[in-house]
Amino acid sequence: MQLTKNIFNYYFKIPANKLSRSCIVIKKSLTLLIILCCCLLAKSQANTFNKLTTEEIKKYHQCEKKFEYDVSFLGGNVGHFQRTITWHKSATSIKATVKSQGEVSFLWLDSTYLQTSTMHYSPQYKHFLTPGFSQKLTGMKAREMKVEMSNNGHSSTVSLNAEVIHYDNENLPLYDIDTLGAQVRLNLLQGKTHFKLSRQASNKIDSYQFEVVGTEVINHKKWGMLTSIKVVEVGKHKDMAMWFSAKHDHQMIMAELDMIFSPVVWLTHFSKQCQ
């Protein structure tokens, strides 16, 4: 079974001979959480934003925002993730520092991760760029990783446990997970319904094709009935489904996998502090 195709292996790689079928399921759900809680995606339900000016974009990218997500599987909680995005005050630029941390505990799987990344919006290229990010993982596959981007995001230098590898991506800029989420959110705010993005993983480049399905009313376990926007990945990660709410800063409020036992990811806390 080719588990390396799942993004969760980016964080928690486990020997395949130790994985039961149910553990494979939970790995996929945590994959979904990392890239999507991660993930900070949204779309205005009215779909009124098509071409945002730089000033309009700045309005959606300011203050300090904190997110917390829980992952449940077969009725039990198996992990949680937190993310803090600090948008820096600047009259001339849109940039932020992102700090993420998470913990997973299921069967013998007991791991934590920390990641710090930076990003800024480029008025010239009309998208976000990632200058670099660092990550530390503890557990069965402990590692330290540092990535530096160049060539307007189309090249990267990855230092993984003292090994250095270079990557190039001609068609799309490379993102870390946090900046990828910010770019998807921006695309959705602009009313885009189909778009491709690329992410720099530890040992490869991952590609994604996102598609907006439409509106759907869901019963959120914390906020009750909510009108949301459903987004799916239609490329190689086809088991992803996500829901976003304009009432919650256009953020992801729920995610699940389409399978017999569907792990569910819930937004449990969101706050914004402006000074």
Q: What is the pLDDT of residues 99-158, one digit of tens each?
A: 999 888 877 778 898 999 999 999 999 999 999 999 999 987 789 999 999 999 999 999
Quick one: pLDDT at residue 50?
58
Per-residue pLDDT, averaged over 24-49, amounts to 44
**Cross-strand partners of 208:** 197
pLDDT at residue 234 tops 50: yes
Sequence-distant contacts of 213-219: CB under 8 A, at least 24 apart: 215/45, 216/243, 218/243, 218/253, 218/254
Is residue 114 within 8 A of residue 139, CB to CB? The reply is no
Number of domain units in the chain:
1
pLDDT number for residue 131: 96
Which is more confident, 37 or 223?
A: 223
Arithmetic mean of pLDDT, 236-257: 84
The fraction of the chain above a pLDDT of 90, given in percent, is 50
The residue type at 71: V
Does residue 42 surpass a pLDDT of 70? no
Answer yes or no: is pLDDT of 39 > 80: no
The answer, as to whether pTM is greater than 0.95, is: no
User: What confidence score (pLDDT) does residue 257 get?
Assistant: 66
Instruction: Report the pLDDT value the prediction gives residue 263, as an integer from 0 to 100.
Output: 72
Higher-pLDDT residue of 129, 28: 129
Mean pLDDT to the nearest integer, 32-59: 59
Closest Cα to residue 94, out of 132, 129, 134? 129
Specify the pLDDT at position 30.
47
Q: How far is CA 180 from CA 17, 46, 187, in A?
A: 32, 23, 11
52: amino acid identity, one letter? L
CA distances from 14 to 2, 185, 243 (A): 12, 31, 29
pLDDT in tens, 165-207: 999 999 999 999 899 989 988 988 999 999 999 999 999 999 9
To the nearest whole number, what is the mean pLDDT of the chain? 81
What is the reported pLDDT for 156? 98
Q: Which domain holds residue 145?
A: 3-273
- Which class for 91: exposed (0-12), middle (13-18), buried (19 or more C-beta within 10 A)? exposed
